[in-house]
Structure 1
Amino acid sequence: MQNQPLTPPRRTFFIDVADAAIRAGRKVGLVDPARLEADFLIEQVSDAYGSDDFGDRWFEGALEVLLDSTKAEARLNAAGDFSAMKTIHHLLRDRLYAQQWFDRHPEILARPIRNPVVIVGPMRSGTTRMHRLLASDQRFAHLRSFETISPVPRPGFGEVMAGNAEDFRPKLAARIMKVARLANPRTLSIHPTGPFEPEEELGLIAASMYGMKFEAQWRIPTFAKWSEAESAVPAYRHMANLLRLIGWSQQESSLRPWILKTPQHMLDLPALLEVFPDARLIFTHRDPQSIVGSAASLAWNQTIIYSGDVSANEIGREWLRKTELMISRMRDARDSIPRERMIDVQFDAMDRDWRGTMERVYDFLDLDMTPAVPGMEAFLARSAAQKKTPHQYSLAEFGLEPGEVYERLGDYVRTYGIAVDNPRATTGSAIAAG
Structure 2
Amino acid sequence: MARGKCPKTLNCKVRLIPERKNPTVPPQRTPFIGVAEKVVKAGRAVGFVKPVRLERRALMDDAIAATGLEDFGSRWFEGPMDVLLHSVREEAKLNVAGDFSAMQQFHKVLKDRLWAQMWFARHPEILLRPIARPVVIVGPMRSGTTRLHRLLASDHRFNHLRSFETISPVPRPDFEEVLAGKKKDFRPVLAARIMNVARLANPRTLSIHPTGPYEPEEELGLLVNSMWGMKHEAQWQIPTYGRWCESEDATPAYEQMADLLRLIGWSQQASSIRPWILKTPQHMLDLDALLNVFPDARVIFTHRDPHSVVGSAASLAWNQTIIYSDHVRPDVLGREWLRKTRVQIERMQAARKRIPANRLIDVHYEDVDRDWRGTMDRIYAFLNMDIEPALGGMEDFLERSRALKRFPHNYSLEEFGLTPAMVMDELGDYVRDFEITMEPQVA
Aligned: 1:405 with 2:423:
yes
- Alpha-carbon shift at residue 4 of structure 1 (Å): 5.8
1:296 to 305, 314, 318: 314
Q: Which residue of 2 is the match for residue 108 of structure 1?
A: 126
CA shift digits 1:255-281 (9 cap, x unpaired): 100000000000000100000010000
Aligned: 1:428 with 2:415:
no
Aligned: 1:416 with 2:430:
no
Q: Which residue of 2 is the match for residue 394 of structure 1?
A: 412
Q: How far apart, CA to CA, are the structure 2 residues paired with 1:166 and 1:3?
A: 45
CA shift digits 1:90-142 (9 cap, x unpaired): 00000000000000111000000011000000000000000000000000000
SS at match of 2:136: strand
Q: More displaced, 100-109 or 30-39?
A: 30-39
Aligned: 1:195 with 2:209:
no
Residues 156 and 385 (structure 1), Cα distance of their counterparts in 2 relative to 1, 3 Å cut = same
Q: How far apart, CA to CA, are the structure 2 residues paired with 1:37 and 1:380?
A: 45
Q: How far apart, CA to CA, are the structure 1 residues paired with 2:348 and 2:432?
A: 15
Q: How far apart, CA to CA, are the structure 1 residues paired with 2:236 and 2:266?
A: 33
Q: How far apart, CA to CA, are the structure 1 residues paired with 2:21 and 2:394?
A: 33
Residues 97 and 357 (structure 1), Cα distance of their counterparts in 2 relative to 1, 3 Å cut = same
Q: Which residue of 1 is the match for residue 148 of structure 2?
A: 130
Q: How far apart, CA to CA, are the structure 1 residues paired with 2:110 and 2:185?
A: 20
Give the conservation status (yes or no) of the 8 Å contact 1:293–1:428: no
CA shift digits 1:257-309 (9 cap, x unpaired): 00000000000001000000100000000000000000000000000000011
Q: Which residue of 2 is the match for residue 230 of structure 1?
A: 248
Q: How far apart, CA to CA, are the structure 1 residues paired with 2:329 and 2:207?
A: 22
Question: Following superposition of structure 1 onto structure 2, how do residues 24-423 of structure 1 map, counting pairs within 5 Å?
Answer: 24-421=42-439
SS at match of 1:11: coil
Q: How far apart, CA to CA, are the structure 2 residues paired with 1:183 and 1:102?
A: 36
- Alpha-carbon shift at residue 3 of structure 1 (Å): 11
Aligned: 1:22 with 2:40:
yes
Q: How far apart, CA to CA, are the structure 1 residues paired with 2:44 and 2:108?
A: 21
Structure 2: unaligned runs, 5 residues or longer: 1-19
Q: How far apart, CA to CA, are the structure 2 residues paired with 1:169 and 1:221?
A: 32
Q: How far apart, CA to CA, are the structure 2 residues paired with 1:214 and 1:241?
A: 21
**Aligned partner letter, 2:116:** A
**Aligned partner letter, 2:376:** M
Task: Normalising by structure 2, report the TM-score.
Answer: 0.94
- Alpha-carbon shift at residue 5 of structure 1 (Å): 1.8
Give the conservation status (yes or no) of the 8 Å contact 1:4–1:394: no
**Aligned partner letter, 1:166:** K
Residues 356 and 4 (structure 1), Cα distance of their counterparts in 2 relative to 1, 3 Å cut = farther
**Aligned partner letter, 2:400:** R
**Aligned partner letter, 1:151:** P
What is the identity percentage for the equivalent residue pairs of Structure 1 and Structure 2? Answer: 67
Q: How far apart, CA to CA, are the structure 2 residues paired with 1:389 and 1:159?
A: 40
SS at match of 2:320: helix
SS at match of 1:109: helix
Give the conservation status (yes or no) of the 8 Å contact 1:6–1:396: yes
Q: How far apart, CA to CA, are the structure 2 residues paired with 1:157 and 1:421?
A: 48
**Aligned partner letter, 2:442:** G
SS at match of 1:204: helix
SS at match of 2:354: coil
- Alpha-carbon shift at residue 23 of structure 1 (Å): 2.0
Q: How far apart, CA to CA, are the structure 1 residues paired with 2:49 and 2:304?
A: 45
CA shift digits 1:24-65 (9 cap, x unpaired): 332343322110000110111112222220000000111111
Q: How far apart, CA to CA, are the structure 1 residues paired with 2:308 and 2:426?
A: 14
SS at match of 1:335: helix
Give the conservation status (yes or no) of the 8 Å contact 1:279–1:341: yes
Give the conservation status (yes or no) of the 8 Å contact 1:4–1:393: no
SS at match of 1:131: helix
**Aligned partner letter, 2:352:** R
Structure 1: unaligned runs, 5 residues or longer: 430-434
SS at match of 1:134: helix
Q: Which residue of 2 is the match for residue 432 of structure 1?
A: none
CA shift digits 1:119-166 (9 cap, x unpaired): 000000000000000000000000000000001011111111111211
1:6 to 21, 24, 30: 24
Give the conservation status (yes or no) of the 8 Å contact 1:97–1:152: yes
Give the conservation status (yes or no) of the 8 Å contact 1:143–1:199: yes
